[in-house]
Amino acid sequence: MLDRVRRPVMSMNLTDHQLSRMAGALWARVGQRTAYHDLVWADDLLGSGGRDILWAELQAAGALKEGEIQPRPLAGYLAQCSAALETQLLWTLPQGLQGQGLSYVEGLAQTIQSAQRELLLMSPFIAAGGVHVMERDLRDALHRGVHVTLIGHDLGDMSSAQSRAIETLRQEAERMVAAFRAYTANHQSGLLHAKLAVADRERVVLGSANMTGHGLGINFEVGVVLGEPHAGQVAQTYDQLLNSALVSHVFTTRV
């Protein structure tokens, strides 16, 4: 069964910016008494539940002992987190096969969860099953003020399965007065094929899986998570596409 996944901090492929902010906040508390409530910022930085995860990991690493941050264990813990910044493969695999890396759903969920300002999505084909898998993370992103943009096929046709698949999310964005905009590819200008998700121009998922139940659940799909500068380069090309005649604006839920 597919579901939203939350992994430990060291397995979350943090962006350089996130890791730098987390490290700065932790080093600032060295020599001070540190209680659970002092890590409240971790929920904003790492997503819902981030404080619980970070608190547990600091204790497990010996970096939080008797209410104080320990500098040497903290340095080791942050080094382990830094190692998680490396490029990682994502897989959707048929039953019986195993890949080295994260599941596609995990990588995509972590990328969406990491977005604080902007989320750029492209999926040529979109189905209700795929949207359902990622819906909670997408709603959470909209709720925390992330500007979400989606490019796909047939989104301008209200009767299409693609358009119907995102309708609940569009309505939820309207209810929250959140920023969600959609663009549809103009078929006469050539079909989209790339599938991607870019968070804050700092982290990008590139791969073969469409946002469908099969793409995120049972097909043989492979993707990769990249950080800077690649995420920014992808976002720049995405911007060019939005400003071209290759796509048409369908809706924006907030002016």
Residues 123 and 179 in one domain: yes
Residues 77 and 101 in one domain: no
- If you ran DSSP here, which 8-state letter would residue 209 be given? -
- If you ran DSSP here, which 8-state letter would residue 212 be given? S
CATH number of the domain that residue 100 is part of: 3.30.870.10
Q: Distances in Å between the alpha carbon of 244 and those of 1, 22, 139?
A: 39, 38, 28
Boundary (domain end) residue, out of 55, 83, 111: 83
Sorted by sequence, the CB contacts under 8 Å of residue 182 that are 6+ apart come out as 149, 150, 151, 152, 155, 166, 170, 249, 250, 251
Residues 76 and 94 in one domain: no
Residue 208: its pLDDT value, please? 97
pLDDT of the chain along its 255 residues, tens only? 333 334 456 555 566 778 889 999 999 999 889 999 999 999 998 888 889 999 999 999 999 999 999 999 999 888 777 766 667 889 999 988 988 878 999 999 989 998 999 999 999 999 999 999 999 999 999 999 999 999 999 999 999 999 999 999 999 999 999 999 999 998 766 689 999 999 999 889 999 999 999 999 999 999 999 887 889 999 999 999 999 999 999 999 975
Report pTM.
0.72
Boundary (domain end) residue, out of 18, 53, 83: 83
Residues 101 and 38 in one domain: no
Residue 73: its pLDDT value, please? 92
Residues 143 and 227 in one domain: yes
Boundary (domain end) residue, out of 19, 53, 83: 83
Interior/surface letters 36-47, b for 16+ CB within 10 angstroms, e for the rest: eebbeebeebbb
Residues 50 and 134 in one domain: no
- If you ran DSSP here, which 8-state letter would residue 69 be given? E
Residue 51: its pLDDT value, please? 92
Alpha-carbon distance of 80 to 38, in angstroms, equals 22
What are the tokens at 110?
A: 């972590």
Name the burial class of residue 28, with classes exposed (0-12), middle (13-18) and buried (19+) by CB atoms within 10 angstroms of its CB.
Answer: exposed
Residues 79 and 92 in one domain: no
Alpha-carbon distance of 141 to 44, in angstroms, equals 11
| Domain residue limits at 158 | 88-252
What angle (nearest 5°) sits at the alpha carbon of residue 183, between those of residues 177 and 184? 145
**Residue 145 falls inside a structural domain:** yes
Residue 112: its pLDDT value, please? 94
